[in-house]
Structure 1
Amino acid sequence: MMEQQSKVMDDHILWRPSEQQVAESNIKKFSQQTGIPFEPYEHMHRWSVAEPGAFWSAVWEFSGIIGEKGETVYLPPEDGGMLGAKWFPEAEINLAENLLRGDGSREAVYEADERGVQRKVDMGELRIMVAKAQEGLRQLGVRAGDRVAGIVKNDLQSLVALLATSSLGAVWSSCSPDFGAKGVLDRIGQVQPKILIASPEYHYNGKFFDIRDNISAVSAELESLSAVVCLSDTPGLVLETEAELLTWNELLENDAETPAFTRVPFDHPLYILYTSGTTGLPKSIVHSVGGVLLQHVKEHQLHCDVKEGDVLSWYTSTSWMMYPWLVSGLASGASILLYDGSPVRKDNLGILWEVAEEVGVTHFGTSPKYLATLEKCGYDVGGNHDLQALKSLMTTGAPLIAEQYTWIYETVKEDLFLASISGGTEIIGCFFMGTPAHPVRRGEITCKALGMAVDILDHRGASVVGRKGELVCTEPFPSMPLTFWGEEGDERYFNAYFKAHEGIWTHGDLVEETPAGTFIIHGRTDTVLNPGGVRIGTAEIYRVVEQIPEITDSLVFGFPMDNDEEIALCIVTEEGGAEAKLAEEIRQDVRRKASPRHVPRRIYTVKEVPYTNNGKKVEGAVRSIVRGQDVKNKESLKNPECLEEYISLAESDYL
């Protein structure tokens, strides 16, 4: 019987690292340095949360953090909870100093867009650019603690602006240029920056967009603003403010060639990131210099196995947490690929892979939705591209379903370290990741991240395995937010993550730990369906529905019925409509592959599914509209106009 069970479990394994891969991995070297075995992994993980001072000190040493470390590593909260922990209280560090390290001749940045690779810059060139931008910002009065905001593309200029800001000990916050003026003000308007750095135009999917009017409108509302830096030689901006207007080249007109680094305390503010919720103003989450740096080098080196000379990419906008995550790759000696534009064009489905092939990307980061698009189009990634350099494929932003695991190994590359990772803007990192020493199991995230005391609790508050529960974290970690920016920030922070379970971080994900010690994400708890009192994660339905060829997109939400709710499914099809035959196929597939409880009672055809600017479906917005409630923060949506067709959904016929 045990042999049969073992065989079934082995059938789920799609990839195993070779002995050589394990021996050469960073986590193996870290194990040797610390004397803590990484096999079984649970041993190392338990040590990392039981001895946080020893673990995070070892991460600092292993990754070669530049700065003054101090003697004290960790001071636990006085009340025994999670808030109030002190990490490296005597330390002084600077993010840019750690990112601009290494041989000046090594490739540091590749810049690409929808036309392909446009530029490559070595570390020596990057340091000079940052030195000039730093001096320009200093002449504009930027000092440690000041806020510098960007409405910027994912390109070289934006990276230099971020690094120059952080080199001065100032605080960086950014939005992508596809946000409207109100969307930008809902975010950076909260933090009132001293300097605004803006891209006046951008290209997406072959189309040109001019946002000068938006920049002018935003500038007029920022009372704190002293200067606007336009990332163009011909700004064409008319500012209705007394703020100084200058171009990027004018900012860089100085003789500086070597950047100076203002070292700041470990818990000094570095980034202000924003959630993309639609229930009110985005939360302005303040992250520390030390927390960001230490969390990222841990994740890059120990979990993703990023090494010196690797090339790290992630398809992201400057609004998403994966942008600073990508940028931090420089601290591990990797080159980073910055890509601005659409990941998929009708005339070129493989532009990201073309770029990856050309520059030799070793770690390719993307979203499950992007991979699903390629799969439905029948795009043969491995057949069309030489991916000899590719070692790892990473995904986040949504659960990677089991069928996609299989497709990746059949279509992209057989020998590939696949890592579905999961965390959040709130922690600027991950709770669940992979490691290069673990096998990859179909449809499952590999392990808890080191240093993260993750647990799964049921409705009683009891830890569970093999059943869905709420994701929590029970011990402090360095990348916990400092606060939420603005009035009553500490109180709003507490209410967001600590109100549900006293002294415990409640993240808001519905998760299941398997008997094998892996994890399955079933969706956000605020979108969990409860038909008949049974908790169902929306990801369980998406997993089935989005494998049906005729369906190009879908959205699931709870349709209110008296004191209960019914499962409602909205589908987008290639033909723009659907017949009863397709609806019956959907219900049969869901019943067979999930359960009878998952079967949608209502199936509607729609033209489009609403997404946030960061590419996440917004079930909550549709649920609110159907219930006659307003969506308060439509500026968080990439396509808010599509909500119009959902207003009359309750009166519409369904399949």
Structure 2
Amino acid sequence: MTISITPSHSSRVWEPSKERIEHSHLKAFADFAEQPLFPYERLHRWSISHLEEFWSKVWDYAGIIGHKGDRAYVPSPSMPDAEWFPHARLNFTENLLRGSSDRIVAYEASESGVHRSVTLKELKKEVAQAQQGLKNLGVQKGDCVAGITTNDIQGLAALLATASLGAIWTSCSPDFGAKGIIDRIGQVKPKVLITTLAYQYKEKAFNIEEKIIETTKSLYDLSAVITLNGQTKIPETNTLSWEELCANDAEEPAFTPTAFNDPLYILYTSGTTGLPKAIVHSVGGTLLQHVKEHQFHCDLHKDDVLFWYTNTAWMMYPWLVSGLASEAALLLYDGSPVKRDNLLHLWDLADEVGVTHFGTSPKYLDTLAKANTRLKDTHSLTSLKSVLSCGAPLAPAQYDWVYQTLKEDILLASISGGTEIIGCFVMGSPVHPVYRGEIPCKALGMAVDVLDERGASVYEEKADLVCTQPFPSMPITFFGEGGEERYRNSYFSKRPDIWTHGDLAEQTINESFIIYGRADTTLNPGGVRIGTAEIYRVVELIEGIEDALVFGLPKDNDEEIVLCVVTDQLDEDYANHIRQKIRSKASPRHVPKRIYQVDDIPHTINGKKVEGAAKTAALGKVVTNEASLRNPSSLQSFRQLTKKEFL
């Protein structure tokens, strides 16, 4: 049985001006493709029913550098076996290092402010020198280079130098534990490791030399370790500093041609239920998907400034980097999003460098809202055109907060996709109105639908988010033994030849979308399917609750909803207040049977709540990959949960 809560929040909060629509990439592309822009649903149907023509037009409109070949799409009876641009030749880095040589392409910032900026000419030189250094170490097309890097200009240059050779880049954030790093890059046997030896977070310095030494002991095929901020010798390795790697006279990088489907990145799932999946993404699929999303859906233009708060382990890092292909500049930030004395540090940076597209998370916006910040009173944000959010569903009330306290004329877009596709299924656009709590549209070229258990497309009902047609950024494979089988089992076992993504979603009559969270964390009390996001949307707005987590625990052949909250005021009256809010703003079926007070909520390194790990710990089972958690000690509260009193 499935029940749907028809959103009462479905009110329009923003509408693009005619001028904005006329000057958008999306309007220009529709004209270029000789297709009407409106109704958008027709344009979208054309994009998924004429896949070869659409993606070929994307290549041409974006001015992809390379040889396209005479075919853009070769269909197959099996969705994952479809071929894209089988005769194309291109280089990923060449497509990013483009445009005027004197324009600024990247700003580097941390908790202490903006450190420096680089022009395209300067970045090209650093990439060229790093490329020559990697060549001297024997790195060539198809080899894997791993980075344990912060989000800064050196890390960017290392990535681009690797891709310029046709080699594969994979990265972890330096705040991972050694086991978390080894569980990821240890799978893919990198030839070279490029690593920082220290980083800063919340105004505290962290030295990670011992962690790097422990990591290298498990990387058996390394030919060299490159250190980014120190001369420390890593035992039993060929260690070079970044300066030594780049000690050559190279000025311009050379670009090794690759096939469209050659590997570019290896990304990792969160790994909270086992060893992280190592997902291999292609050169052409990544590039084409990102320029389409940046230009058509985010309306990213030449000389705009793109920012996303991310670390180098998350999918949004390569998504940010690809902004260079649209000749935008990047704001690269490493550190905490908030400082002890300044919640608005990121917005200070945004004002200073003129950020046009600000990428963040619902949690960060919630922090600002609970602190009663009013950015329109403290910051000019004259350049700001769009606020983008992902990592969790954006609550309806957060739409109101953004437009009331941040800026009235901006495109607010919650976007949703995943590491598995290195992109998005549903997004905003510069030509769509924004409705509270809803994601405006299906991304062009993505045959997105919501299917129930019968396989029928449904509206105003929660069901599985799927994609029914191939797209270029589907993974090449999962790295390692049995990778192809593991890949197909992950997304095609439930519905052969239809990508079932694993999210619970709803299509509205506005042709917009609401995401309710992962289907594997869906609650089923009394046989009623409930998305955890529906409860978070209420609870996280209750004053006094710092964080919360919801999951179901078995009870007499059924399931009880368990709510865990981080608060200093849980008593019977407060618990009743929480239940009353959930009952009135969601439904009686969403009301938790048990409410517990806990010290902390488990999150991944990227800030996502980990309901599965908490539930596993509460059931007294082993959490198989605590190294994926930012705060594994938080699980201690959950291991004792069923022995504690609840309200």
Q: CA deviation at 1:391?
A: 0.3
SS in 1 for 2:420: coil
- CA offsets 1:34-57 (integer angstroms, 9 cap, x no match): 111121000010000000000000
Aligned with residue 265 of structure 1, among 259, 278, 281 = 259
SS in 1 for 2:602: coil
Q: CA deviation at 1:236?
A: 2.5
Name 2:4's counterpart in structure 1.
Answer: none
Alpha-carbon distance between aligned partners in 1 of 2:223 and 2:8, rounded to the nearest angstrom: 61
Aligned with residue 142 of structure 2, among 137, 142, 145 = 145
Name 2:47's counterpart in structure 1.
Answer: 48
Alpha-carbon distance between aligned partners in 1 of 2:325 and 2:347, rounded to the nearest angstrom: 25
- Is 1:238 matched with 2:234? yes
Name 2:58's counterpart in structure 1.
Answer: 59
Q: Is the 8 Å Cα contact of residues 266 and 280 (structure 2) preserved in structure 1?
A: yes
Q: Relative to structure 2, which stretch is displaced further, 310-319 or 623-632?
A: 623-632
Would you say how many aligned residue pairs link Structure 1 and Structure 2?
A: 641
- Is 1:556 matched with 2:550? yes
- Is 1:324 matched with 2:324? no
- CA offsets 1:620-642 (integer angstroms, 9 cap, x no match): 01111122211000000000011
- Is 1:376 matched with 2:373? no
Q: Is the 8 Å Cα contact of residues 387 and 411 (structure 2) preserved in structure 1?
A: yes
Name 1:210's counterpart in structure 2.
Answer: 207
Alpha-carbon distance between aligned partners in 2 of 1:278 and 1:391, rounded to the nearest angstrom: 36
Alpha-carbon distance between aligned partners in 2 of 1:653 and 1:19, rounded to the nearest angstrom: 58
Amino acid at match of 2:59: W
Q: Identify unmatched segments of 5+ residues in structure 1.
A: 1-7
Q: Is the 8 Å Cα contact of residues 560 and 627 (structure 1) preserved in structure 2?
A: no
Alpha-carbon distance between aligned partners in 2 of 1:611 and 1:399, rounded to the nearest angstrom: 15
Amino acid at match of 2:634: C
- CA offsets 1:598-626 (integer angstroms, 9 cap, x no match): 00010001110000011100000111112
Matches within 5 A, 1:229-378: 229-232=226-229, 234-239=230-235, 241=236, 243-378=237-372
Alpha-carbon distance between aligned partners in 2 of 1:31 and 1:377, rounded to the nearest angstrom: 43
- Is 1:629 matched with 2:621? yes
Q: Is the 8 Å Cα contact of residues 109 and 336 (structure 1) preserved in structure 2?
A: yes
Name 1:388's counterpart in structure 2.
Answer: 382
Q: Is the 8 Å Cα contact of residues 400 and 420 (structure 1) preserved in structure 2?
A: yes
Alpha-carbon distance between aligned partners in 1 of 2:465 and 2:133, rounded to the nearest angstrom: 45
- CA offsets 1:63-92 (integer angstroms, 9 cap, x no match): 000001111111001xx2311111000000
SS in 2 for 1:570: strand
Q: CA deviation at 1:277?
A: 2.8
Amino acid at match of 1:568: V
- Is 1:507 matched with 2:506? no
Q: Is the 8 Å Cα contact of residues 195 and 226 (structure 1) preserved in structure 2?
A: yes
Name 1:599's counterpart in structure 2.
Answer: 591
Q: Is the 8 Å Cα contact of residues 149 and 196 (structure 1) preserved in structure 2?
A: yes
Amino acid at match of 2:400: T
SS in 2 for 1:83: helix
Alpha-carbon distance between aligned partners in 2 of 1:550 and 1:628, rounded to the nearest angstrom: 29
Alpha-carbon distance between aligned partners in 2 of 1:594 and 1:221, rounded to the nearest angstrom: 49
Name 1:5's counterpart in structure 2.
Answer: none
Q: CA deviation at 1:235?
A: 2.8
Q: Is the 8 Å Cα contact of residues 139 and 191 (structure 2) preserved in structure 1?
A: yes
Q: CA deviation at 1:10?
A: 11
- CA offsets 1:430-475 (integer angstroms, 9 cap, x no match): 0000110111111100000000011101122211011000011111
- Is 1:529 matched with 2:526? no
Amino acid at match of 2:528: V
Name 2:12's counterpart in structure 1.
Answer: 13
Alpha-carbon distance between aligned partners in 2 of 1:549 and 1:160, rounded to the nearest angstrom: 44
Alpha-carbon distance between aligned partners in 1 of 2:213 and 2:619, rounded to the nearest angstrom: 37
Q: Is the 8 Å Cα contact of residues 617 and 638 (structure 2) preserved in structure 1?
A: yes
Name 1:128's counterpart in structure 2.
Answer: 125
Aligned with residue 226 of structure 1, among 223, 226, 233 = 223
Q: Relative to structure 2, which stretch is displaced further, 549-558 or 619-628?
A: 619-628
TM-score between the two structures when normalised by the length of structure 2: 0.98
Name 1:72's counterpart in structure 2.
Answer: 71
SS in 1 for 2:135: helix
Q: CA deviation at 1:307?
A: 0.4
Aligned with residue 449 of structure 2, among 444, 455, 461 = 455
Alpha-carbon distance between aligned partners in 2 of 1:459 and 1:468, rounded to the nearest angstrom: 11
Alpha-carbon distance between aligned partners in 2 of 1:290 and 1:46, rounded to the nearest angstrom: 23
SS in 2 for 1:426: helix
Q: Relative to structure 2, which stretch is displaced further, 345-354 or 265-274?
A: 345-354
Aligned with residue 79 of structure 2, among 82, 105, 115 = 82
Alpha-carbon distance between aligned partners in 2 of 1:213 and 1:383, rounded to the nearest angstrom: 46
Amino acid at match of 1:481: P
- Is 1:582 matched with 2:574? yes
Q: CA deviation at 1:11?
A: 7.2
Name 2:36's counterpart in structure 1.
Answer: 37
Alpha-carbon distance between aligned partners in 2 of 1:105 and 1:615, rounded to the nearest angstrom: 36
Q: Is the 8 Å Cα contact of residues 191 and 486 (structure 1) preserved in structure 2?
A: yes
Matches within 5 A, 1:184-203: 184-203=181-200
Amino acid at match of 2:436: R
SS in 2 for 1:293: helix
Alpha-carbon distance between aligned partners in 2 of 1:515 and 1:409, rounded to the nearest angstrom: 24
Amino acid at match of 2:631: N
Alpha-carbon distance between aligned partners in 2 of 1:215 and 1:619, rounded to the nearest angstrom: 30
Alpha-carbon distance between aligned partners in 2 of 1:600 and 1:256, rounded to the nearest angstrom: 63
Name 1:3's counterpart in structure 2.
Answer: none
Amino acid at match of 2:588: P
Name 1:169's counterpart in structure 2.
Answer: 166
Q: CA deviation at 1:559?
A: 1.6
Name 1:473's counterpart in structure 2.
Answer: 467
Q: Is the 8 Å Cα contact of residues 225 and 234 (structure 2) preserved in structure 1?
A: no
- CA offsets 1:570-607 (integer angstroms, 9 cap, x no match): 0011xx34111111111001110100000001000111
Alpha-carbon distance between aligned partners in 2 of 1:251 and 1:238, rounded to the nearest angstrom: 15
SS in 2 for 1:394: strand
Alpha-carbon distance between aligned partners in 1 of 2:380 and 2:62, rounded to the nearest angstrom: 31
- CA offsets 1:337-357 (integer angstroms, 9 cap, x no match): 100000011211111000000
Q: Is the 8 Å Cα contact of residues 431 and 454 (structure 1) preserved in structure 2?
A: yes
- CA offsets 1:298-338 (integer angstroms, 9 cap, x no match): 00000000000100000000000000000000000100110
Q: Percent identity?
A: 59
Q: CA deviation at 1:645?
A: 1.3
Name 1:497's counterpart in structure 2.
Answer: 491
SS in 2 for 1:506: strand
Amino acid at match of 1:294: L
SS in 2 for 1:520: strand
Alpha-carbon distance between aligned partners in 2 of 1:253 and 1:222, rounded to the nearest angstrom: 26
Alpha-carbon distance between aligned partners in 2 of 1:556 and 1:533, rounded to the nearest angstrom: 17
Q: Is the 8 Å Cα contact of residues 9 and 437 (structure 2) preserved in structure 1?
A: no
Alpha-carbon distance between aligned partners in 2 of 1:237 and 1:372, rounded to the nearest angstrom: 44
Q: CA deviation at 1:513?
A: 0.4
Q: Identify unmatched segments of 5+ residues in structure 2.
A: 1-6
- CA offsets 1:182-201 (integer angstroms, 9 cap, x no match): 10000000000000000000
